[in-house]
Structure formats: structure tokens, C-alpha cells
Homo-oligomer: A and B are copies of this chain.
Amino acid sequence: MWPIFQAVVATGDTYVFSPTTTRQDAFTYWFGPGNTPYVAVDALRILGMYKIRAHQRDLGSHVANASFMVDPAAQGTGTGKALGQHCLREAQHAGYEAIQFNFVVSTNMGAVSLWKTLGFSIVGTVPKAFKHHQLGYVDVHVMHRFLNDG
């Protein structure tokens, strides 16, 4: 999982982590309290991963939050879509009523498109909230999907 994390954050165009993020920080992000991590495997190789957790505690705990990373070398293989579909099922089984993504970089067209395909919609756009490695400040989408109609 660490090599995938490093490959994903190296480009500075989709995730908020600096390319110099430490292994310990990455470990905490994936395995810290409240997170449930999953991986996608092809034979014995990890292709991608996601984690799911409550978006908020207590009075906001009916909404899940999830984060995904796919090995850049595995892009185009349907790994993201498979993880997304798995996440929808797991979130439903866990009793969540919706999933919310807080930080979908607007220029990450692959992610925006994938989430729309899986039934998510953009419910908000925060202007210039992400410092893109090449493009400078770009907008960030909040995306959301109810689970009871899935």
C-alpha cells in the first residue's frame, strides 16, 4: 500500500498529501482509529485501496466518508470502479444512509466522472481549495450519494 500511496501523491494533482508525506503519516491515514481499509488485488498484487469511515460523529454519523487510491500502473483496468462498487455495498451493509466525498479535485476528471457514473452528484464546489502541482489553485467538489435507492 505504501508504494501506491507514494505513486499517487507524487504527482500533486489529485490528493492533498505532499509528495514528502512520511510512511507513518500514510499508515495513520489508512489505519488510524475509525477507518476501515480495503484493498483490490490481482493475484497477489495490490492494485488499489479505499477506506470508509463515518463522515462525522454522533448526529452526523449516518453519513459515510470514503477515500480511494489506485496504483497509477493499474489505471484503466476498472480497479477504481470495482472499489467504488464494493464501497457502496459495504457502506449499505454497515447501515450508512449516504456517502460524502469532501475533497474531489475538480480537475481530476477521471474521479469526477467515475463518481457520477456510480450515482454521486456534486453538491458543492469550494473555490481554489487545492494547490495543484501544475495548475495552481483549483476548485474542489463535495460529492454525495444516498444509499437507500441503490
Q: Is A63 an interface residue (CB 8 A)?
A: yes
> Which B residues are in CB contact (< 8 Å) with A100?
126, 129
- Which of A58, A130, A137 is packed against the most chain B CB atoms within 10 Å? A58
Q: Give the contacting residue for A126; candidates B18, B125, B140, B142; CB below 8 A.
A: B142
Contact B16 A60 (CB under 8 A): yes
Residues of B contacting A56 in the complex (Cβ-Cβ under 8 angstroms): 16, 103, 129
Decide if A130 touches B98 in the complex (CB within 8 Å).
no
A68 adjacent to chain B (CB < 8 Å): no
For chain A residues 76-108, which have a beta carbon within 8 Å of chain B? 97-98, 100, 102-103
Copies per assembly = 2
Q: Is the CB of B131 within 8 A of A60?
A: yes
Contact yes or no, B126 A59, CB < 8 A: no
**Given known contacts A123-B125, A126-B123, A126-B124, A131 and B18 CB-to-CB distance under 8 angstroms:** no
- Given A124-B123, A142-B142, the answer on whether A16 and B57 have CB atoms closer than 8 Å is yes
Q: Which residues of B contact A131 (CB under 8 A)?
A: 59-60, 62
- Can you give 14 A-B contacts (C-beta < 8 A)? A16-B57, A17-B59, A18-B57, A18-B59, A21-B58, A59-B130, A60-B131, A123-B125, A124-B125, A124-B142, A126-B142, A127-B144, A127-B146, A128-B146
